[in-house]
Amino acid sequence: MEYLLQQLINGVTLGAIYGLIALGYTMVYGVLGMINFAHGEIYMIGAFLSLMGFALLGALGLPVAVVILLVLLAAMIITGAWGWSLERLAYRPLRGSPRLVPLISAIGMSIFLQNLVQLLQGARVKTMPPMINGGVEVMQRASDGFTVTISYTQILLWVVTVVLVSIFAYLIQNTSLGRAQRAVSQDAVMAEYLGINSNRTISITFIIAAMLAAVAGCMVMLYYGVVDFYIGFLAGMKAFTAAVLGGIGSLPGALLGGLLIGLIESLWSAYFSIEYKDVVAFIVLFLVLLIKPSGFFGRPSVEKV
C-alpha cells in the first residue's frame, strides 16, 4: 500500500509536467487546427535556459526562492520570444497552404532546434545539483521502514501547475483574448471582418504555449536536474499523446491526459518492465481512441457543407 501511494505521488508529479506541455499543444490546435510538433523542443529550450539561469544566479548567493522566481520569469520571457519567432518564420507564411505543408515545416523546425541546441550546448547530458531538499513524510511502513514522502519540489510543481492552469483557463473563458481565440478558431476571415487581429491573436497563443513549456522545463530541472538536447522529442510525443487522450483542443482534457500518462508510466515502471514504459502510454492511447476517437473531453468535428 505504501509503495503504491508513493508511485501515485510520483505519477501525479510526472503527469503535471506532461499536462503543462500538452496545454501548449491543445491551445495551438484550438486556434489554428494544426499540431506544433516543434513544441517539445521549445520545452527543451526552456529546460536549458533554466539550467543556465540556476547556475548563474545560484553562484551569486541569492535566496533559493528568489532564484527560482527570477529563472522562471526569464525562461518564460525568452522562450515566449522563441515561440513568437517560430510562428512568424515557420507557420505564418504557410497558413493558407494544405495542412501537410505546415506539418512538415513543424517537423523541420523540431529537427533544426534539436541540432541548434546540440551545437551550442553539446551532446552530453547536463546535470544540476538539487536546489530544494527535504519533504513531507506521509506514512511509514512498519515492516521495513519504507517512507512515503512528498518532496517540496513536488509540492512546488503541483502548486505552479494548478495556478497556471487556473490563470490561463480564466484568460480563455473570461477575457477579450479568449474571445478572440475562440473567434479565430471558428472562422479567422470572419473574425478579421469583426475587427479581430487574427495574426496578433495567433502570435499571442504561440507565446502563451511556449511560456507553459518553459515552466515545464524549469520544473523538470528542479525535479530531475538532468537535461540534454533530445529530451524534447520524447516528452513532446507523450504530451501530444496526453492532449489527444484528453481531447485535443480541450484544456481540462490536456491536463487530465497528462495526469493519466504520468500515472500509467509511473505505475508500469514500478510493477512491470521499465523498458516498455514508453510503449504502454501509446497502447493506452490506441485503446481509448478505439472506444472514443475524440478523446475524453474532445468534441467530434462537424464540417458544414
Task: Work out how many domains the chain is built from and give that number.
Answer: 1
Give pLDDT tens digits for 61-118.
889 999 999 999 999 999 999 999 999 988 888 887 887 888 888 889 999 999 999 9
Closest CA to 27 of 199, 202, 275: 202
Cite the DSSP H helix spans in 38-142.
39-58, 64-86, 100-121
Is 297 part of a structural domain of the chain?
no
Could you tell me if residue 98 is inside a domain? yes
**274-301 confidence digits (pLDDT tens):** 888 878 877 887 887 788 877 877 666 5
DSSP 188-202: HHHHHHTT--HHHHH
R_g over Cα of the chain: 20
pLDDT tens sequence across 170-214 = 888 888 988 898 898 888 888 888 889 998 999 999 999 999 999
Query: Cα–Cα distance between 54 and 60 in angstroms, integer?
Result: 10
pLDDT the model gives residue 299: 65
Q: Which of 18-27, 45-54, 138-147, 163-172 has the lowest mean pLDDT?
A: 138-147
With respect to residue 202, please indicate whether it lies within any of the assigned structural domains. yes
Considering only residues 273 and 162, tell me which one the structure prediction assigns the higher pLDDT.
162
Q: How far apart are CA 153 and CA 16, in angstroms?
A: 12
Domain presence at residue 285: yes
Position with higher pLDDT, 8 vs 59:
8
Buried b or exposed e, range 253-268, using 16+ CB within 10 angstroms: bbbbbbbbbbbbbbbb
**Residue 303 predicted with pLDDT over 60:** no
Q: What is the structure's pLDDT at 280?
A: 84
Report the distance separating Cα 124 and Cα 142, nearest Å: 42
Q: Residue 31: which H helix or E strand, with range?
A: helix 2-32
Flag whether 241 is in a domain.
Answer: yes
Of 4, 8, 39, 10, residue with least CA distance to 254: 39
Q: What are phi and psi of 151, to 5 degrees?
A: -75, 160
Average pLDDT, the chain: 87
How far apart CA 239 and CA 43 sit, in angstroms, is: 11
> Is residue 174 one of the residues assigned to a domain?
yes
Per the CB < 8 A criterion, the answer to whether 246 and 295 are in contact is yes
Q: How confident is the model at residue 304 (pLDDT cuts 50, 70, 90)?
A: very low
Q: Is residue 92 in a domain?
A: yes
Question: What local confidence, expressed as pLDDT, does residue 301 receive?
Answer: 56
CATH number, position 187: 1.10.3470
- Kindly state the percentage of the chain with pLDDT values over 90: 41
Rounded mean pLDDT, 244-271:
87
C-alpha closest to that of 150 among 159, 200, 198: 159
Among candidates 286, 292, 284, which has minimal Cα distance to 250?
Answer: 292
- Mean pLDDT of the 235-249 span: 86
Do 11 and 266 touch, CB atoms closer than 8 A?
yes
Containing structural domain, residue 248: 2-291
pLDDT tens per residue, range 34-55? 888 899 999 999 999 999 999 9
DSSP 137: E
Residue 296 lies in a domain: no
Res. 149: pLDDT tops 80: yes
